[in-house]
Each structure stands twice: as C-alpha cells, then as structure tokens.
Structure 1
C-alpha cells in the first residue's frame, strides 16, 4: 500500500476497513471505502454503485479490486472500476492488518523488566496480577493503541506503553517530587481498557462495550478487579489513597474535557502521565504523516484536519524550492 503513487494501476486484494454508501450532488450513489493491507490504508471510491452491491460485503471482509490511483486535494485515493468479494478462507489475515515494526517479544520483555522494578509491595503485586493473566497479556501485546490515530497497528498499544515507561524511567530522577512506582504503574494502566474497547482480529473497530462505555471506565473496572486479587496475594488490603490516585490517573490522562477526560489531572503523577502520553502520540502522528505522504514533490504535507495544520517535510529535492501553496 505505501508503495502506491499517483497514476498507478491496481489489481490487488485488500481488507475493507470501512464502507459507506453515499450520494453525490446529483443524487447518484457511490461507495466510499477504506482499504487496508499490512503496510497501510487508502481511501477508494466506486462510482455508480448500488445498494445491492453495497450489501454484498461489510467492513472486515476482503475485496479484489481493480482501479487506478490519483492524488486529490493532496491525498492519494483509488478510483475503482471493479470489485469482487474474496473468500476469507483463502486469505492470510496477517497480510492485511498493520503490525508493529518492533520485535514484540523484546517489547514484552522490556515491559516486564520495568514493571517488576517497582518496589512498592502493593503496586508490585498489582502489576504482577496483570502479568500472570495470560489472556490479558495476549490482548495487551496484540491490541492497537487506536483505530486510525497513533499506533494504529497490532502491538501498537504495547509499543506506546513501553515507550512512555522508558521515557518516565529516564527522567524521573529530574523530578524527585514524583513517585516513580506510582507513575510507572499509572502509565501501564492508563490504556488497559483498550484491550476490550477495540476489536482487532480483522478490521480495527470499536466493540459494542467500547462504543457504549469507553476505555477510561473499562480501565477503572479492570483495575478494581485486579486490586482485589492483589490484596489476596499480599494478605493486606490495598491502600485506599493509592487506589484513588491510580483511578484518577486513568480517568484524567486525556488532559482536557474536550478530549474526553471526565476529570482534569490534579496530581503530579497524573499531569506527568498526560504530557508523556501526549508527547509520544503527537511525535508518532507527525512522523507517520511526514513519512507516508504520497506527494514526494512537495515540501509540505496536505492540511491535516485532525492536527489543524500542514507539516513541513523539508525543502523538496526535485527543484530545491519550497512549496508555495500554503492554503489548506
């Protein structure tokens, strides 16, 4: 997918990540699709579609498509001339969902190494209860961190969390006011609800519970269950204030009300978590948009609606001149 450029003829099979039947200004129906393989995704359109054709497949199905690529408003899209549903038994699913480029076994080992360095006995017992839960670990090391935004690939959640844990472990000595054990635990827990909020066996999507409840509430519920197990492990009740601080880190880590946090960060560890989380997400997003932009001739990416800006890639090598079209 990421090898496609303007004007390429395409005759390939793809996973349908999203499907919408729309009408143009004249009222004619067309299909707007998001097609994906393990290297990335592309928007696609099939003109003069019908409701009957749209009902023959759903997101999560596979299509053999024919068409041609074109750049429209700075973004690469695929104009389709033919689509055909592919028998899923003839498909290798791992060829169609993006994977982390990092070694998952090494990431998992690093996760365990950092978490098992926690010295607080209650927090250490808590993280151990998660780490000995084989089903949780399987999901945590497979789940993406999102559907379309940062780390939207298998093991993306693991990669995101290990990166933040590593950053925190390197800088915590600069901020002696921070509780290292609490910060590391909160980082590990902040997105645990995503293992069930998202579905990621085929197309990446939200589960019913994810749509209705969301990963913040789901994460707090998972924390409460493991706290009960950890109390059995230590033979002591889990400290109430410690639990309260962990819950607060989960529900406040988005940082602002407009980004979904029911509470703003109100502790040192919560505000540290928010900015570390945001730092990794933003750098990952900027890097991806710059790297994957199909317009190699331009010094700038197209206007990014989710970021509210264009991104500077560097002076275009083809002519040595900056791109002059600065309007979104």
Structure 2
C-alpha cells in the first residue's frame, strides 16, 4: 500500500488506497432508484464523507460500523467539501492496520492530562465538594472511562480521550477566570466543569467508532449525570457517615442541567446561578474554539486564506495569510 495520506491532507482528484475507520454506513437509493453506499471514513486527523455508486446489499454487508476497512477510490471537491468516491471497500486485515493512525491523542498525552485533572481537583477546599470529587476520582472504572471517552459525536473533541482534553482545558480556564470575579465560588465552578459532561462516559459508546448507547439516546448525558451525582453522594455519606449539604448538591446539579445555556440546545433549565452562567460561557468558549479550529484544519481550500462557507455555522472562517 502507498504511504499514508491522512484525511486532512487529501487534495482534490487524489487517488486513495488505504485503511480508514468506518462509521454511519447507509445504503440509499438515488433519484433514479439505483442504490449507493454512504459511509464516514476517518483517521486521527478527521473524517471524510464517502460514497460508492451502484452498490449492492453485499457491499453494505461487507463490513460493519467500527471496522477498519481498506478503500480504493479517489477524492473530489463537491460544493466546497472534500468527499471520497470509492470503487471498492473491504474489511482490513489486522496486519494492515496501524492503530497509531487512528489515535488523535497519544497515551503520553492522556497520562499527562489525567495527572493534571487530579492535580487541579486537589485544589478544591470546600469539604463536602472534596468528598464528592473523591468519590468520583477513587472510582477506577469511572476514571478509566472518563479518560477514554470522546466529548461528543461530531461538534467538538469528537475522538477518544476528547472528554478528558475538553474538561482539563475548561478547568484551566476556571483557574484563570474565577479569581478575577470574587463573586464566583471557584470550588463550585471547578466541580461543575469536572462533572458537566461526566455522563458522556455512558451516553456514548467508543470502543471503535463513536455512537450513542441506548440509554444515551433516550436520556442524554445531563439527566444521566444527575443519577451519577446522587450515587456518589450516597457513596460519600456511606464512607464517612457525614451528611452532604442538599442545597450545595442542588447547585452542582443545576450547573450540569443548564450548561448548554438554552432550552433549544438541550438544557432543561437556563443558568440561574453565577457559577452556572460562568460554566455555560466557558464551556461554550472551549467547545467553539475547538470546533472552529477543526473546521479550519479540515478545509480543502489550501490556496485561500478563507474556508468554504459552512452552513452549520452560517459563515466562512478566516485562516490568516497564506
């Protein structure tokens, strides 16, 4: 096989013969009734929408979502977006797959961020919040999943260990911002940053491709996180026999259910405390910068200082001087 070209490196009208990770495959009819296969192919640099024309049921069944596949085809620029037209897709043999090609974050990065997460959480001074956080950090199964899970399906940090990267970045923001606003309780804000997306460890499945679990699809991570917090509160009380301030825990839960900031974005409540307002805006800042950075990175317009127009954000993005 030729030397690997990552998704972010692919140019218009470039022949492709290499391994990708397959997800979200569909068999669809075109306007003439002929079937075609649509699938997202990805590596550590991003994903590319792929079509195989005149496909059959056998082509569709030749691999599963989450499989590594070998693809023969060529790229083409269509309406400002790079796509791949496949002539052939088959399941890859183990000896054809280099796992490092599909890891956005390397193990050393993950270990470093995990240590930093624990280091920041150790700064919390409020005793009940210390106890709550300890119940999570001492749960090895939870922490292992927390350090492996993505932060989402598509929008931002949508890769393994993306949740850890997002949360550590957000907590670093809290350490900078909270001291500048004395009216904010920095400990509450740190715990909110830690737990706001914590239930994504169970909302999503991420052994190979990223998908929603049944529970994640039906409940969502904000509702699931409330159950997680309740469980850890009970666990903390069992360990030391001390009560947990109910109003304080309610404020932590409120930050979780309101952190998307608007009803139309999935929050069941609007932010009503200063910490909830701060968490929403800091979370949105980190997510938006990560998302827009990825859009710029994936832009196929290599010779232009501008990206193509993105319908999902209603604008082009300026990449800077070439």
1:292 equivalenced with 2:278 (yes/no): no
Match of 1:244 among 241, 250, 256: 250
1:167-178 alignment to 2 at 5 Å? 167-178=173-184
Query: Which of 108, 130, 139 is the equivalent residue of 1:133?
Result: 139
| Residue 40 (1) aligns with residue 37 (2) | no
Alignment of 1:42-191 (within 5 A): 42-87=48-93, 91=97, 93-99=99-105, 103-191=109-197
Measured in 2, the distance between the counterparts of 1:35 and 1:287 equals 20
Runs of 5+ consecutive residues of structure 2 not aligned to the other structure: 1-5
**Contact 1:100–1:156, Cα closer than 8 Å, also in 2:** no
Q: Which moves more between the two structures, 140-149 or 295-304?
A: 295-304
SS class of match (1:30):
strand
Is the Cα–Cα contact under 8 Å of residues 19 and 96 in structure 2 kept in the other structure? no
Q: What is the SS of the residue equivalent to 1:103?
A: helix
**1:93 positional shift:** 4.6
Query: SS of the counterpart of 2:74?
Result: strand
| SS at 1:152 equivalent | coil
Listed one character per residue, the Cα deviations across residues 149-180 of structure 1 (whole Å, up to 9, x for unaligned) are 10111111111111111111112121111111
Q: 1:89 to 1:262 in 2, by over 3 A?
A: farther
**Is contact 1:253–1:273 with CA below 8 Å preserved after alignment?**
yes
Whole-Å Cα distance in 2 between the matches of residues 101 and 112 of structure 1? 17
User: What is the match of residue 326 of structure 1?
Assistant: none
Offset of residue 105 of structure 1: 1.4
Does the 8 A contact of 1:104 with 1:155 survive in 2? Answer: yes
* Structure 1 segment 251-262 matched on structure 2, within 5 A: 251-262=257-268
Instruction: Tell me the SS of whatever aligns to 2:233.
Output: helix
Return the offset for 1:259. 0.2
Contact 2:62 2:90 in 1 (8 A): no
User: How far is 1:88 from its partner?
Assistant: 5.4
The aligned runs of 1:190-205 (5 Å cut-off) are 190-205=196-211
Q: CA RMSD in A?
A: 1.7
Shift of 1:97: 4.8
* Separation of aligned partners in 1, 2:13 and 2:194: 45
Check whether the contact 1:187–1:273 (CA below 8 A) recurs between aligned residues.
yes
TM-score (norm 1): 0.92
CA–CA distance in 1 between the matches of 2:108 and 2:310?
27
Q: Note the C-alpha offset of 1:128.
A: 0.8
Q: CA deviation at 1:102?
A: 7.5
Displacement of 1:281: 0.4
Q: Provide the TM-score with structure 2 as the length reference.
A: 0.94
- Distance across 1 between alignment mates of 2:174 and 2:166: 12
Query: In 1, distance between residues paired with 2:47 and 2:61?
Result: 22
**Counterpart residue number, 1:281:** 287
Please give the alpha-carbon distance, in whole angstroms, between the structure 2 residues aligned to 1:76 and 1:92.
Answer: 24
Cα drift, residue 268 of structure 1: 0.7
How far apart, CA to CA, are the structure 2 residues paired with 1:39 and 1:101? Answer: 16
Distance in 2 between residues matched to 1:83 and 1:147, nearest whole Å: 23
Structure-2 separation of matches of 1:118 and 1:76: 46
**Which residue does the alignment assign to 1:320?**
none
| Cα distance, 1:74 vs structure 2 | 1.0
**Aligned residues of 1:125 and 1:233 also touching (Cα < 8 A):** no
SS at match of 2:9: coil
Match of 2:32 among 16, 19, 26: 26
Distance 1:202 1:38 in 2: 12
Displacement of 1:44 in angstroms is 0.9
Q: Deviations over 1:258-300 (max 9, x none)?
A: 0000111111111110000000000111111112212112222
